[in-house]
Amino acid sequence: MLTQKGKYAIKALIYMAEKGVLVKTQDIADSAFIPKKFLEAILLELKRHGFVGSQQGATGGYFLIRPATEINLADLHRIFEGPIALIACAAEKFYKPCTDCENVATCTLRIAMKHVRDQTFDVLEDITIQKLVKSG
């Protein structure tokens, strides 16, 4: 299951993609039913990862930097949820060897989980924010 944070991030990005222009945190919060203070932290994280930009001051807000067609759920999953794989030894970007596995090469669980990861990744990567925009 996604965390609330991850789900909010997706919803916020969808909203921003629909608007297409600079939007206030408050507007996103109201429209997507996200606690404003919590949303602030999420937007800052999205900014750090280069998905959105911000403008400070009275007429400030946030806006998409990258095109909505190039933001996919696989990338967002890695940022807010961690590895796509179900076990670390089957992960690609978050790979860590098992400590409780005597033979990594022949470990059937790892091989199976790698297959699960690859399938899941393909599905998630194909879903872009643009595809989640209404009439998109």
Binding site for DNA (CB under 7 A): 3-5, 24-26, 35-38, 40-41, 43-44, 47, 54-62
Q: What is the total count of residues that contact a copy of itself (CB under 8 A)?
A: 34
Q: Which amino acid is at 2?
A: L
N-to-C CA span, the chain? 25
Residue 40 or 75: the one with the smaller Cβ distance to DNA is 40
Q: Give the whole-angstrom CA distance, residue 5 versus residue 10.
A: 9
Question: In the beta sheet, which residues pair with residue 78?
Answer: none
Question: Cβ 127 to DNA, closest distance in Å?
Answer: 20
Distance of CA 62 to the CA centre of its chain: 17
41 binds a copy of itself (CB under 8 A): no
74 binds a copy of itself (CB under 8 A): no
Q: Give the whole-angstrom CA distance, residue 77 versus residue 61.
A: 24
Write out the DSSP string of 40-77. Answer: HHHHHHHHHTTSEEEE-STT-EEEESS-GGG-BHHHHH
Count CA within 13 A, CB hemisphere, residue 68: 20
85 binds a copy of itself (CB under 8 A): yes
Residue 26 or 119: the one with the smaller Cβ distance to DNA is 26
87 binds a copy of itself (CB under 8 A): yes
**Binding interface with a copy of itself (CB under 8 A):** 1-2, 7, 10-11, 14, 32-34, 73, 82-83, 85-88, 99-100, 106, 108-109, 112, 115-116, 119-120, 123-124, 127, 131-134, 136
